[in-house]
Structure 1
Amino acid sequence: MRRPITVLTVCAALTGASLTNADPAGAAVAPGVTYRVYDVRGAAGPARAHVLSVDLTGPRVRLGLLYPGAVAARAPVSRLADAQRALAGVNGDFFHITETQHPGVPATGASAGPAVADGEFLKGAVPDAQRFGPALPPGTSGRAVVGVGLDGRVRLDTLDFSATTDTGLALSGLNQYALPENSAGAYTSRWGDLPRTRAACGSDTDRAAPCTSDTFEVTVRAGRVTATSPTPGSGPIPPDTTVLLGREAGARRLRALTPGRHLKIRYSLAVRHPSYRFALGGYPILTRGHPLPGLNDTARAVRTAIGVSNGGRRVLLLALDGSPHYRTGLTIAELASLLRDLGARDGFSLDGGGSTTMVLRQPGHTTTTVLNHPSGGAERPVPNGIGLFER
């Protein structure tokens, strides 16, 4: 039985010193799960970290992807957690939050990086230059993920999407709000019903580059081309249907396909049988106990992160508080140091700012409550998150 939540506040300086005076028991919220609050002295002022420590060695809890059932959709973390009956959760990947550079093109709300839910590869990563959020640390990629493998262990990795058609056309994307130049991508029922227009905007080096009009779509159902279109479409895609969208050279290859033609899409083994039960994007900031070189040490913000230790069998879900007293937040370099001081060996940064949210279902309640104070004053709708589930 879970006992009522209590808040424990300790103080830690980000100077390489370890945390002190922390009650090892914390506040138990489920078997193997404790909740603590830490006050932290950042270089620019105080920060407050809400931390869920999760022991995955037992059979009682697991991690999974929170998402609203479509890639191009958003909902507050509490609503995502309640819909999937999660015990707790934090927000996830950076996402296509706004679209000011391309008038008339709607923001899709889709996440930037790869995503896997219940062993299903939902989407691939957009080109790095098309990401929203802070610049990636040197040597990292928008294909970076944190996830749970088939062995039940949490690890940091990169995930690529690849597929081909029997005509030899390589597909470079899956349910992505942006495709590489001169490529073609696949869209399935998991995309949702929003327009696919944004996929042909921007370039491999500039997110604000103009949209191209050199596009072509092919609808494939039951191994046969059923329709074509010179422009990206919208509306729901049936579960037995795939839409191929090409831009520039990719569009020219697709124009050779006509209705009635047989067409088979061959997905790579990594996509058909993902090695992850769940995964989502962000970027690494701590590996093998060492912060990555070149982490930003000037830009401060409210942030969300996950720390990993004990060979992937223990995780820390961390969300900074966004109330006015703590809104200065931490730099990415400070965040990596904090995760290390909390005992993490590897660390991964998720979306922050107004997206940072941690929710928990209190004992005796049927819905979750928000533990931190979102910096925008209320929960921001997000495309996905990390959910903690009781088995």
Structure 2
Amino acid sequence: MTRNGRRTAAGRSILTVLTTLGLLAGAALTGAAPASAVPAGGSGRRIAPGVTYREFDITAAAGRTHAHLLTVDLGNPRVRMDLLYPGAVAARATVSRLADAAGAVAGVNGDFFHITETQHPGVPATGAAVGPAVAGGRVLKAAVPAGQRFGPALPPGTTAREVLGVGTDRRARLDRLTLTGSLTTARGRRRLGGLNQYALPQNSVGAFTHRWGSASRVRAVCGTDTDRAAACSKDTYEVKVRGGRVIGTAGAPGSGRIPSGTTVLVGRERGARELRELSVGDRVTVTHGLVAAAAEVPYAFAIGGYPVLRDGSPPPGLDDTVPAVRTAAGFKAGGRKVLLLALNGADDSRTGLTIAEEAATMRGLGASDAFNLDGGGSSEMVTRVAGASGVTVRNHPSGGAERPVPNGIGVFSR
């Protein structure tokens, strides 16, 4: 069939995995993955060196759902993974467009994002992702405060700083990336509170660079650390810095493209009051980066979401009641093999999986660790057929068409 001018390959069932009612959810909670949850029977078809694709059915508690799976061999020197994004943090594009623009052979959608803004009339949605992001070894953004997240509630013990990434050692891992940075003036030094984020912590100063894009920065001062719907702050200020000196000030966050080499500082409450002490010509030094909690090597790429499987076991508190169309990423073989899973959103196979079932499915596929990405209408997988000029959408997006998203995971093969 055709969708948005692109061929889709969903609907063909290669394999049916039968489970008893609630078996997957029970396995995720008890820690014993049933053999019947493992989609055995074929290694899939090769779409590029080190990259294979297959599809199969899963019958879970809510009924049958159709799954699409990519297996990526990072042990193959011809293969790599990276972040797909439209060139700016606060921008969106479909996964197929992102993959084609980057020359990827396959990809899936990525992090949850600021998709809508109903609590603050007149404030536009930015489209920016929730969590940290690293592309091509470059830091793009940090995580918003946990209370400002869009998406389902985080499982106990997790934060908005969770990432799945691939290090420069070509191994995938789960980690947390925390913003580190400072703002230094003649009056002293203070910790930086945000980097290219659609929401800043209360009383903080956040930095916006050219990687943010041209979207309005007003949303950054709305809500609180615990309540996304809280009113926008009325105590705000903005300072533009270039070449280590203040070149402009404003009483409220602005919008428009930020030139490369320029940093826009946005302050709220106490942060705004400190920025008001600066004048044009004053010296300002801004530093920013992301610090990993676990990795000892830099990340080549990283994307936000939250873990559903660690060292073979699901964390406590995973939801086992609400099924949905989902996208997940996981790895095995010490991070050398990555599994990317996307469910179908077509009416006849969109019952989906609960988070607990998703964890059990990934473990059944052999993953030691797994990570939940954005789902619902965002869930999408694309692959490039040999000799084709563009990628093929493999699953049926549940909204009836591809949804523009801020980022995704791209698979590349030379």
Q: TM-score range by the shorter chain?
A: over 0.9
Task: Report 1:211-222 matches (<5 A).
Answer: 211-222=232-243
Amino acid at match of 1:258: S
Amino acid at match of 1:17: P
Does 1:17 pair with 2:34? yes
Inter-partner Cα distance in structure 2 for 1:165 and 1:383: 28
Inter-partner Cα distance in structure 2 for 1:231 and 1:12: 57
Structure 1 partner of 2:259: 238
Query: Residues 161, 221 of structure 1: CA spacing in aligned structure 2 closer, same or farther, 3 A cutoff?
Result: same
Inter-partner Cα distance in structure 2 for 1:269 and 1:374: 33
Which of 263, 268, 271 is the equivalent residue of 2:284?
A: 263
The Cα of 1:267 is off from its aligned counterpart by 3.0
Does 1:199 pair with 2:205? no
Structure 1 partner of 2:298: 275
8 Å Cα contact 1:7-1:36 kept in structure 2: no
Q: CA RMSD in A?
A: 1.6
Task: Report 1:247-262 matches (<5 A).
Answer: 247-262=268-283
| Structure 1: runs of 5+ lacking an equivalent | none
Inter-partner Cα distance in structure 1 for 2:281 and 2:38: 69
Amino acid at match of 2:272: A
The Cα of 1:110 is off from its aligned counterpart by 0.2
Inter-partner Cα distance in structure 2 for 1:290 and 1:40: 20
Query: Residues 149, 128 of structure 1: CA spacing in aligned structure 2 closer, same or farther, 3 A cutoff?
Result: same
Structure 2 partner of 1:226: 247
Inter-partner Cα distance in structure 1 for 2:167 and 2:388: 31
Which of 375, 380, 386 is the equivalent residue of 1:352?
A: 375
Structure 1 partner of 2:163: 145
Inter-partner Cα distance in structure 2 for 1:321 and 1:25: 20
Moved more, 169-178 or 347-356: 169-178
Which of 126, 143, 148 is the equivalent residue of 1:130?
A: 148
Structure 1 partner of 2:355: 332
Inter-partner Cα distance in structure 2 for 1:339 and 1:257: 52
- State the Cα deviation string for residues 277-324 of structure 1 (Å, max 9, x = none): 100100000001111110011111100000111110001100000000
Task: Report 1:1-391 matches (<5 A).
Answer: 8-13=14-19, 14=24, 15=27, 16-18=33-35, 19=37, 22-167=40-185, 168-268=189-289, 270=291, 275-391=298-414
Amino acid at match of 1:198: R
8 Å Cα contact 2:142-2:290 kept in structure 1: no
- State the Cα deviation string for residues 70-114 of structure 1 (Å, max 9, x = none): 000000000000000100000000000000000000000000000
The Cα of 1:22 is off from its aligned counterpart by 2.4
Inter-partner Cα distance in structure 1 for 2:225 and 2:209: 23
Query: Residues 21, 230 of structure 1: CA spacing in aligned structure 2 closer, same or farther, 3 A cutoff?
Result: closer
Percent identity reads 61
Residue aligned with 1:212, SS:
coil
The Cα of 1:268 is off from its aligned counterpart by 5.0
Residue aligned with 1:280, SS:
strand
Residue aligned with 2:175, SS:
strand
The TM-score with structure 2 as length reference comes to 0.91
- State the Cα deviation string for residues 115-173 of structure 1 (Å, max 9, x = none): 00011110000001100000000000000000011111000000011211223121111
The Cα of 1:32 is off from its aligned counterpart by 2.0
- State the Cα deviation string for residues 229-283 of structure 1 (Å, max 9, x = none): 1100100000010000000011011111110111111335849x98101001000
Residue aligned with 1:160, SS:
strand
Residue aligned with 1:165, SS:
strand
Query: Residues 28, 277 of structure 1: CA spacing in aligned structure 2 closer, same or farther, 3 A cutoff?
Result: same
The Cα of 1:12 is off from its aligned counterpart by 4.3
8 Å Cα contact 1:10-1:22 kept in structure 2: no
Residue aligned with 2:267, SS:
strand
Query: Residues 339, 12 of structure 1: CA spacing in aligned structure 2 closer, same or farther, 3 A cutoff?
Result: farther
